[in-house]
Amino acid sequence: MAMQNTLTAKKISSFWTFLGCVLITLGAGTLCGWLSGAMNGYEGINVPAFAPPDWVFSVVWPILYIMMGAALYLIITYPPLTRTEYFIKTAAIILWGIQFALNLLWPFIFFNIDYTIAFVINAAMVAAVTSLVTLGFFIRPLSSVLLLPYWGWLLFATYETIMIIILNA
C-alpha cells in the first residue's frame, strides 16, 4: 500500500511539473506578445509576399510554446545515470533558458527597436535551439523531436527577417 501511495504521489508531482513547464512557457510567451506590440502584427511594416497572415501567429505560437514546455519537462525530469549525462542535462537546461530568454526578448526588439538587432537575436536563437536539439538526442530524444517544429519556424523567421530588413531599408 505504501509503495502504491508513493507511485501515486510521484505521478501527481510529475503531472504538476509538466503542467507548470507548459503553463509558464505558454503564459510568458503570450504575455510577451501582448506587451511587445506583436499582437498588432505587421501593421506598418513592408513584408515579403511569402509572409504568413497575422492570424497564423496566434495559432502557431501557442502550439510551439506548449511543445517547448513539454520539451523542458522531459529535460528537467531526466534522471542522469552518468556524470556525462548530468552535464548534458545541465547544458540542455541552460540552453533552454537562453533560447527562451531570447525568444521573449525578440518581439520587443523587432516591433519596437530595430529589425537588424532582431535578426541577430533570431540567429542566436537558431544556434541555441540547434545545440539544444542536438543535446536532447543524447538524453531524451522526444524532447528534441518536440523542438524541431520550433527550430523550423525560427529558420523561416530568420529568412523572413532578412527580407523585412531589405524591404524596409
Kindly indicate the confidence band of residue 7, based on its pLDDT and cuts at 50, 70 and 90. low
Residue 11 has pLDDT above 80, yes or no: no
- List, for residues 59-89, the tens digit of each pLDDT value: 999 999 999 999 999 999 999 999 999 999 9
Residue 6 has pLDDT above 90, yes or no: no
78 Rama class: left (phi>0) / alpha (psi -120 to 50) / beta: beta
Radius of gyration of the chain, Cα coordinates, nearest whole angstrom: 18
**Which pLDDT does position 87 carry in this prediction?**
97
Average pLDDT over residues 46-69: 95
Question: How much is the pTM?
Answer: 0.91
Q: Are 102 and 129 in contact (CB under 8 A)?
A: no
